[in-house]
Structure 1
Amino acid sequence: MTKIAILGGGVSGALLSYLIKTRTNYDVKLFDIRENYVKPCGDIVPNVYNPPVPWEIKFNIKRFAFYLDRKLVHDIEYRNTKWLVIDKWKWINQMREKVGVSHISFFNKNEFDMVIDAKGPYDMDRNVVYTTRALVKTSKFDDIAIFEFDTRYTGFYWIFPSEEGILNIGAGFLEYKNSKELLLNYIKEKYSDALILDIRGAPISVSPVKDKKYRIGEARGLVFPLSGEGIRPSAISAETAFEAIYKEKQFDEFIDEKLKKMYNGINIQHKLLELYKYSSLPLRRSLLRLLFRNDILIDAYLEDKITIDGLLESVRSIKNGSLLRK
């Protein structure tokens, strides 16, 4: 019997191990440093993907607001749901419970026919942005998604709904590693009655990785750096990896070919991020105003479609009447 080890039980590792466990006769073992998954993020996915293992949807997001240096520059409301707020921790931990998790200190590669790296960015073999996320109870709850950009830094603050009366508020900036300090000041400024229920930090990949061999998800560099979206790319990579294993394809070649369009989109975002990082403050303001005052560019940004094909798709969506301005 083929024995497979998966290192890391986040989105990609938990989903791949679950698919192998439930849909094949292979012997799969999942390794992680924690019994339960607790990595923080915005818990947001664009409403363009359905995972093979369903997740619980907590909010349907149709409204978005964009701030630049503390001033509202644009807000928009869509006719249909654009984003989903999901219960990511519950989704991942249910899959981990089905498979079982062994502590990574017990891993011995000689016991396995195949070892797959799903450890996310934690080998630190790429550039990362250090983000902090807080769950905040407040009377000023709303189900709108808010982005706020501070042009002194490369990154943004976010405010998303989490539970009724609880907001998911976060921050991440390349030039400022202590995102917790910035976030706490931001929360204090925005919400006078804020009660912080939970606060955690995590790195997010913002550059390509050199070694992709037998890696999936964020370990393979599959994060859209302009938005920080990694849930959907990681889940898709797990599905693709499962297909490669099940069909006995060459693992890395198969994934690279299947995900070519995703790689192209991520690489374009890497270049745009570098352009923004080395731009002057006036140019940064001009670039962001251009982005957030254009419905086509906003649509592409929210669904990580900042490619020629993606922009054309956004234009078609607007012509078909799927967008509705406030």
Structure 2
Amino acid sequence: MLKIAILGGGVSGSLLAYLIKKYTNNYVKIFDIKDRYIKPCGDIVPNVFEPPNSWPRKYDIKRFAFYLDGERVYDIQYRSTKWIVIDKWKWINDMRKEVDFSYVGNFNGKEFDMTIDSKGPYDLDRKVVYTTRVLLKTDKFDDEAVIEFNTKYTGFYWIFPSEDGVYNIGAGFIEDKNSRDLTLKYIKEKFGDREYKIVDIRGAPISISPIHETNYKIGEARGLLFPLSGEGIRPSAISAVKAFEAIKNGKDFNKYLSEELKKIHEAISVQHMFLKLYLNSSLSLRKQFLRLFFKNEILIDAYLEDKITFEGIAESVRSIKGGSLLRKL
């Protein structure tokens, strides 16, 4: 029997601990700074994966609208659910109740055979964007998900239906750390003539740079977050499943995860490449690129499911404008 410590009880840490406790004879304990999980985000997962311990579904999203500098430039409606809004807090806290827990200050590594890092971005060993998420209640409700880009900044605003009558609204930009003020200003612009009530407001950092040291790390601690969309729930959950498989089957932990998560790491690396290109582009070129992006339904679909690859974008750009914009980039 192994004694396993998991540092951080978020998506990946709590799921891994739950699976170890439920399906093996190993002992596992979560160490965290808080006894309840409360990290905010958009609570969105693409409808392409479900973990072994299913997450509670709050809302199905089929309609999307994209804005650029205040102008509605593209909208689409799918026949089937494209995104799922989950109750992430309930899902994680229910799993944490099933395993032993201690505050991270009480951690003694000598007591354990294996220590796994799932602390997310909180070691601050990478660049982060500081995001703010607001839960807003209103009588006038629309089931459309809104993503709005501003070419002056690198990042985006979002308005996601969270449940009937409640929106999940937020923002995160590399160039401006004060996402709270930006989000509140955005809400006034979008909801100024409507009655609404802010029921919760919280902030959190998310990773936007590559991670070089990945041994015994899972989830966002391992850098598993798509920088173009900010989506980290699904890749974190997948890393927990793969970590569980390695432990349960007696595999070399780091080697197994490197092999099994290779495609996700490659996709994230591609997104880091495009993020860097975008950061180094002029405002006019950013606007050209985004307008081009919104003309391609294939790219929109890939963006919504975090399936963007270099080959896919290059081919789509060539098919639209003969590669002229790609050559500029």
State the TM-score, normalizing by the size of structure 1: 0.94
* CA displacement 1:219-264 (0-9 Å, x = unmatched): 0000000000000000000000011111111111110101111111
Alignment of 1:254 onto 2:256: yes
SS of alignment partner, residue 277 of structure 2: helix
Q: Is the 8 A contact 1:7 1:119 kept in 2?
A: yes
SS for the counterpart of 1:188 is helix
Which of residues 248, 263, 266 in structure 2 aligns to 1:264?
266
Contact 1:157-1:169 at 8 Å conserved across structures? yes
Amino acid of the structure 2 residue aligned with 1:113: D
CA distance in 2, matches of 1:176, 1:194: 26
Aligned residue in 2 for 1:31: 31
2: distance between equivalents of 1:264 and 1:272? 13
Partners of 1:268 and 1:108 lie apart in 2 by 38
Q: Matches of 1:298 and 1:310 in 2, distance apart?
A: 11
The equivalent residue for 1:297 is 299
Runs of 4+ in 1 over 4 A off after TM superposition: 308-312
Say whether residues 1:199 and 2:201 are aligned partners: yes
Q: Of residues 227, 231, 238 in structure 2, which corresponds to 1:225?
A: 227
* Equivalence for 1:141: 141
Q: Which residue of 2 aligns with 1:189?
A: 189
Match of 1:110 in 2: 110
Q: For residues 123 and 261 of structure 2, what CA distance do their matches in structure 1 show?
A: 22
Contact 1:300 1:311 in 2 (8 A): no
1:22-171 alignment runs, 5 A limit: 22-171=22-171
Query: What is the aligned partner in structure 2 of residue 323 from structure 1?
Result: none
* % same residue: 66
Q: Partner amino acid for 2:225?
A: V
Counterpart residue identity of residue 295, structure 1? E
How much does 1:309 deviate? 7.3
Aligned twin of 2:243: 241
Please tell me whether the aligned partners of residues 218 and 234 of structure 1 are also in contact (alpha carbons under 8 angstroms): yes
Give distance in 1, aligned partners of 2:292 and 2:80: 24
Distance 1:114 1:106 in 2: 16
Q: Name the residue aligned to 2:3.
A: 3
Q: Distance in 2 between matches of 1:157 and 1:248?
A: 44
Secondary structure of residue in 2 paired with 1:90 = helix
Cα deviation code 1:81-121 (max 9, x no counterpart): 10000100000000001113211111100100000000000
User: How far did residue 310 of structure 1 move?
Assistant: 6.3
Partner of 2:321: none
Amino acid across the alignment from 1:202: A
Q: Point out where structure 2 has 5 or more consecutive residues left out of the alignment.
A: 317-329
Q: Is contact 1:305-1:311 (8 Å) kept?
A: no
Contact 1:29 1:101 in 2 (8 A): yes
Deviations 1:263-292 (A, max 9, x none): 110000000001111110011111111111
2:129 match: secondary structure: strand
The aligned amino acid for 1:232 is: R
CA distance in 1, matches of 2:37, 2:145: 25
Which residue in 2 is equivalent to 1:215?
217
Q: Give yes or no for contact 1:15–1:235 (8 Å, CA) kept in 2.
A: yes
Contact 2:270 2:310 in 1 (8 A): no
> What secondary structure sits across from 1:5 in the alignment?
strand
Q: Is contact 1:14-1:95 (8 Å) kept?
A: yes
In 1: Cα distance, 2:242 partner to 2:248 partner: 10
Q: Which residue of 1 aligns with 2:327?
A: none
Task: Calculate the TM-score normalised by the size of structure 2.
Answer: 0.93
Q: Which residue number in structure 2 is paired with residue 273 of structure 1? A: 275
**What's the CA shift for 1:58?**
1.0
Query: Which letter maps to 1:129?
Result: V
The 8 Å contact of residues 4 and 26 in structure 2, kept in 1 or not, is answered as yes
Q: Secondary structure at the match of 2:97?
A: helix
Note the alpha carbon deviations across 1:274-321, whole angstroms, 9 max, x for none: 111111001111111111121000001000111267679x9xxxxxxx
CA shift at 1:195, angstroms? 1.1
- Report the number of matched residues: 313
Secondary structure of the residue aligned to 2:308 is: coil
1:194, distance to aligned residue in structure 2 (A): 2.6
User: Is the Cα–Cα contact under 8 Å of residues 188 and 194 in structure 1 kept in the other structure?
Assistant: no
